[in-house]
Chains A and B, each alone.
Chain A
Amino acid sequence: MLTSFFKAFTNLFKKPQTIDYPVTSIEKDKEYRGLIEYGESECIYCLKCEKACPPGAILFVPVENPPKNEKNKKGLKYHYNPHLCIYCSECVRACPKPEEALWQSNKKPPIGIKDDKVNDGWFELEKLKKV
């Protein structure tokens, strides 16, 4: 019983084990697997990232005002859903220009609320793709 008193007394002067998160921010490592980012001017529209993604989180959909690029022959635009992605970075390994057109940063993904239409908006984009 004396050992437990001694241990409780020395624990008064140690640093606490808790990190109080929203007040003090936590630094992430440089190699942390975060959001996927896209450079629009360097893309050559080969569509390899769309075939390599397991859940299908990248879609190229025909729209009325496509971005102006001489390789974009069919009028496509890039769409990405951070709530469907599993952050495995298969798309970065399949891209022929991995540092300029598509790369993985170490930022945290954003949190969605009800008005963002995370699920219903994606079903409408998939219907446009099939037509």
Chain B
Amino acid sequence: MFDFKPIRKKSPWILHYNAGSCNGCDIEILACLSPKYDIERFGVINTGNPKQSDVFLVTGPVTFRSRERLIELYTQMPEPKVVMAVGSCTCTGGVFRDMYNVEDGLDRYIPVDVYVPGCASSPELIIDGLVKALEILESKTKEIEKPFKLFRNETNKDGVVNRRNSALKVGEEIDDEEN
């Protein structure tokens, strides 16, 4: 069978969303795709489609008007996926902490994996963050495709096989010591 595990990190496609930023970090992401700091040599393409992408790049402190679209995009992306917060405003709120229309940081809403600091973050820091995100993507791929048990083993007493209590309840896991 064709094995996807070692080649999934060789061509990650990114999705970029502006959740209320000042456009400084967006220009630096656009400069990463320009000929000087070329990230297309890692196999990265900037698509606008959430159903075809692996890495989610968010900029800006999350404002009240843009919360709904952010959660819709996050739930439409298929597993395994990595979320990256670019800029000081996205990590902790930045200069806009405690203003009335702003949530303080992205991890109040969706779980974040990599935090990239800076105001505005330079393209070298974004490339460093992307390399770390690819390592996390590889470890998530290995965890998803590990095999796990669904039923307990049946008991055998005097030649009579009993499968009555072999189903698991919701949220229960099997201890491997029990055989």
Q: Which residues of A contact B (CB under 8 A)?
A: 17-22, 26, 54-56, 81-87, 108-114, 116, 118-120, 122
Contacts and interface: CB of A to CB of B under 8 A. Distances in A.
Interface of B: 35-38, 41, 88, 91-95, 97, 104-105, 107-108, 111-119, 124-125, 127-129, 131-132, 136
Given A111-B125, A119-B107, A84 B38 contact: no
Contacts of A111: 114-117, 125, 128-129, 132
Report the 6 A-B pairs with minimum CB-CB distance, sorted nearest first.
A112-B115, A86-B119, A83-B91, A119-B105, A109-B117, A83-B117
A84 B35 contact: no
23 contacts: A17-B36, A19-B37, A20-B41, A54-B95, A55-B94, A56-B97, A83-B115, A84-B93, A84-B94, A84-B97, A85-B88, A86-B88, A108-B125, A109-B118, A111-B114, A111-B115, A111-B116, A111-B132, A112-B117, A113-B132, A114-B111, A114-B112, A114-B113
A82 B36 CA distance: 27
A55 B114 CA distance: 22
Nearest to B42: A22
